[in-house]
Chain A
Amino acid sequence: EAGVTQFPSHSVIEKGQTVTLRCDPISGHDNLYWYRRVMGKEIKFLLHFVKESKQDESGMPNNRFLAERTGGTYSTLKVQPAELEDSGVYFCASSQDIGSAQKTQYFGPGTRLLVL
């Protein structure tokens, strides 16, 4: 079974440009999460999809960030326009239905974003 995949693995862009990150969750996982780790700091939650719906986007830093999950499958996270402080590693994770149990989140390898 394929794990969570993310594309690209690295991205270097200039301030003001647009970048789109993609995440493909494990097949059949309805829950999809985005996190990021800014240089030297904690990994922070960004948002949570259940299928195609945004369940919680309380961690999105501002309106320059837009996340979508088309048809409840893969997800994209677009940053427009990118700022220097957006540099960091963006992780995606997926899990099965929550139900009444805490389901393990499986992480992708991350996308390392550098804004110059």
Chain B
Amino acid sequence: GDSVTQMEGPVTLSEEAFLTINCTYTATGYPSLFWYVQYPGEGLQLLLKATKADDKGSNKGFEATYRKETTSFHLEKGSVQVSDSAVYFCALSELAAGNKLTFGGGTRVLVKP
């Protein structure tokens, strides 16, 4: 079945540092890929997505590129802020499976001033 693996946290950074969270996947078909974020005390929010190979999703300074050859969807941000402290989830879905999401384990990111 489908699965998503992402780096374990917590990841602790200083403000303005570069952030990378690795995410790799296995899928039976051709999935869409997502990054969701959960800020403290809030629900899951879609951060960005990509639906086909080589697509780049971007939002709020975050980027991730759909790499089919390496089955990866790594999340990056060039200069993090304290407000980026959250838990980040990589996920995939397949239309043939009713679009149910398969999540990675989540990576907690803490940005210190």
Give chain A nearest CB distance to B81 CB in angstroms: 23
Asked whether B46 is an interface residue with its Cβ less than 8 Å from the other chain, the reply is yes
Given contacts A42-B106, A109-B42, contact A104 B101 (CB under 8 A): no
Q: Which of B15-23, B63-71, B92-100 contacts A (4 or more CB under 8 A)?
A: B92-100
Q: Which residue of the partner chain, among A31, A55, A102, A108, contacts B43 with CB atoms under 8 Å?
A: A108
Across the interface, which residues of A come within 8 angstroms of B98, CB to CB? 48, 55-56, 98
Asked whether B82 is an interface residue with its Cβ less than 8 Å from the other chain, the reply is no
How big is chain A's contact interface, by range?
A: 20 to 34
Specify the main secondary structure of chain B where it touches its partner.
strand
The residue of chain A having its C-beta at the shortest distance from the C-beta of B49 within the complex is A104
A46 vs B106: C-alpha distance in the bound complex, in angstroms? 18
The residue of chain A having its C-beta at the shortest distance from the C-beta of B93 within the complex is A102
Across the interface, which residues of B come within 8 angstroms of A31, CB to CB? 99
A52 vs B105: C-alpha distance in the bound complex, in angstroms? 30
Give chain A nearest CB distance to B46 CB in angstroms: 6
Q: Which residue of the partner chain, among A42, A48, A55, contacts B104 with CB atoms under 8 Å?
A: A42
> What is A's interface to B at a CB cutoff of 8 Å?
4, 31, 33, 35, 41-45, 48, 55-56, 59, 91, 93, 95, 98, 100, 102-110
